[in-house]
Amino acid sequence: MATAVKLMTAEEYLVLPDLGRPSELVRVRVVTMNMPFPRHGQICGNTVHIVAGYLDTIDVGCVVCNDSGVITARAPDTVRGADVAFYSYQRVPKGRFPQGYLSVAPEVAFEVRSPGDRWREILTKVAEYLAAGVLRVCVLDQQTETITVYSPDEPEVKLTHDQELVLPDILPGFAARVERFFA
């Protein structure tokens, strides 16, 4: 006999009590994850610092971190936790964000690949972000110290430590050497 599974909405997931572990809502179920290593947090912190430094000079949006929820699908709902994300003021008005998840996707999502992360799972997440309207997904691989940039309709681009990450159509004038993200 089949058992009916209730599909959890993003709004129901939002009000779940703290599970004591990081989690994401992936289609039908809550998926828990291990706490990331400090190196993961260091790379995320570097990314926030780099992007926020740019935004201090050109105030075109804001950066969020700490696995801020991004709704990537509805019916069934999926909520992914972006390590770091950029929202322009065109998508989200300047000022404090409202409570709950935003109804729009960020323009850029940064994901830090930890040693235990499987590429298949990373690429699934990349595809979900792009389908949800994210314009660029930057996967920072701490093992190879490279950044792979994914776009909706373009081939992926892999950048090495001595190259620069630029996002001219999203962050005009932004340029940062890849090695800075891993410093």
In this structure, what DSSP letter does residue 179 have?
Answer: H
The 3-state DSSP class for residue 125 equals helix
The domain ranges of the chain are 10-181
**Mean pLDDT of each 10-residue bin along the chain, 183 residues long:** 64 87 85 88 98 97 95 93 97 94 97 91 96 98 97 96 97 98 97
pLDDT at residue number 63? 98
3.40.50.1820, 3.90.1570.10, 1.20.120.430, 3.20.20.70: which CATH number matches 10-181? 3.90.1570.10
pLDDT at residue number 133? 98
pLDDT at residue number 166? 98
Residues comprising the chain, all counted: 183
Contact 30, 67 (CB under 8 A): no
pLDDT at residue number 6? 60
Read off the pTM: 0.92
